[in-house]
Homo-oligomer: A and B are copies of this chain.
Amino acid sequence: MSSNTAGKLFTFTTWGESHGPAIGCVIDSCPSRIPLAESDIQPWLDRRRPGRNAQVSPRREEDMVRILSGVFEGVTTGHPISLIIENTNHRSTDYQKLASIFRPGHADATYQHKYGVRDPRGGGRSSARETAGRVAAGAVAMQLLRHTEKTRQVEIVAGLTRLGGVEADTSKWDDRAIDANPVFCPDAGSVDAMLATLEEAKAAGDSLGGIVEVRVRGLPAGLGEPVYDRLDGRIGGMFMGLNAVKGVEIGDGFAAAGMRGSENNDAMRHPQSGRLGDSFVTNHAGGILAGISTGAEVVVRCAVKPTPSIGVAQQSIDMNLDDIELDGVGGRHDPAVCIRAVPVLQAMMATIVADFFLLARARNQPEF
C-alpha cells in the first residue's frame, strides 16, 4: 500500500521529481499477452508534454518513454512494466532563491511542514511532471481494454469545457474537434474565445482556471465494487487527487442539489439493444448508480484551479514564517494547467476502468 501507487489489480506506481535525472512508472498486474510497445504509449505522452504549443508551459521536454521490463517480443509478460522518461530540460540554476520561500498556492509550505525537507527545483515531487507517469499508465490501460474482447468497445474521451470565463457549449461536443485546437476544446465554436481570454490573462501575468469533462462510452453495466470502492468513489478520489483539481462532479453533479427527485431520476424504457445502458431516457446520473456503471455514458467534470505561479506581485512568507513580497513567480509555467489536465484525466480514467474490469472479471460477472 505504497501511497504512490494507485489501483487494486491494475496498479501503477509513479516516482521521480521535476529536476531529477528521470521520472517513471511501474505498472503491475497487467495481464499477459497484451500487445505493447513504446509507440503505443508515446502518442499519449505527446499530448500531455510541455512545449508543444503556445498555450502550455514553454519547458521543452521530449518525454521519450522507454520500456525497461515486462514486455517480451511485443507482448506483456504479466510482470511489472517499468517505464522511464528522462528529464532533459531541467534548468535548476536559480533554485536557491526558491528554497527558502513559500509560493502562494503551491506545495512549498505543506511539503516543508510535512517532510522537513523538500526539493525546491521545479516543485520536486509536486511538479506536474509526475502526471507523465499517470498518462503512460493510462496508455497501457487502453491497450489492455482494446485487446480484450469484452472491453474493446470502450471509448474514453476528455475535453476542456471551460477556460476562465469562457464556457463551451457541451451540446456541441465533437470528439474530432478536441485535437484540432490547442486547448483540447470539444466545441470548435468556443476555441477562439478561449484563446483570447488566455492571451489576455498571460499578458496580465495572470493565470486561468477551467473545467475538464471526461466521458466514457460503451462501458458495460456492472463496473464498480461495493460500498468503499465504488466507481464514483474511485473517480472522485483519483480525480480530486490530481494537483489543482478542487471539485469533481458526476452527471448533474452540483446541479442535482437544486433538483427534485422527479427531475433528477432517469426514466427507463425497454432498450431495443437489450443493453441495460440503453434503457435510460435521460442521463442525469452520469452513468453511475449506487457506485456501479449503468451502461449509459459516464460523464465527469473536474474544476481545475488557475495555475498558482503568476507574474503579478504577491504577499507570502519564508521558511521562518516571516513576511516576504514576491514580484512574481518565475519559471516556465502553464498559464492554465487545466489544458494539460485534459489528457491526464483521460488517462487516469483509463486506469480506473481497467482496474474495475479486472475486478469484475474476478467476480465472474456476466459481461466480463
Known interface pairs A226-B3, A306-B261, A321-B270. Does A117 touch B77 (Cβ–Cβ under 8 Å)? yes
A165 and B8 alpha carbons, distance in the complex (Å):
40
Beyond A3-B29, A4-B26, A104-B267, 5 extra complex contacts between A and B, CB < 8 Å: A32-B117, A114-B221, A114-B363, A233-B238, A246-B256
Select A256's contact among B303, B309, B314, B361, beta carbons within 8 Å: B303
A250 contacts across to B, CB distance below 8 A: 240, 246-247
Known interface pairs A15-B80, A265-B104. Does A257 touch B109 (Cβ–Cβ under 8 Å)? no
- The answer to whether A249 and B303 have CB atoms under 8 Å apart is yes
Within A253-272, which residues are at the interface with B (CB < 8 Å)? 253-271
- The answer to whether A80 and B314 have CB atoms under 8 Å apart is no
- The answer to whether B317 and A269 have CB atoms under 8 Å apart is yes
A72 contacts across to B, CB distance below 8 A: 17, 117-119, 124
* Copies held by the complex: 4
- The answer to whether A258 and B164 have CB atoms under 8 Å apart is yes
Q: Please, which residue of chain B has its CB at the minimum distance from the CB of A70?
A: B15
What is the minimal beta-carbon distance from A79 to any residue of chain B, in angstroms? 4
A233 contacts across to B, CB distance below 8 A: 237-238, 240-241
- The answer to whether B3 and A227 have CB atoms under 8 Å apart is yes
Interface presence of A1 (CB below 8 A): yes
Interface presence of A229 (CB below 8 A): yes
Write the A214-249 contact mask toward B (1 if CB under 8 angstroms, else 0).
000000011011111110111111111101011111
Interface presence of A38 (CB below 8 A): no
- The answer to whether A240 and B243 have CB atoms under 8 Å apart is no
Interface presence of A88 (CB below 8 A): no
- The answer to whether A290 and B126 have CB atoms under 8 Å apart is yes
What is the minimal beta-carbon distance from A189 to any residue of chain B, in angstroms? 19
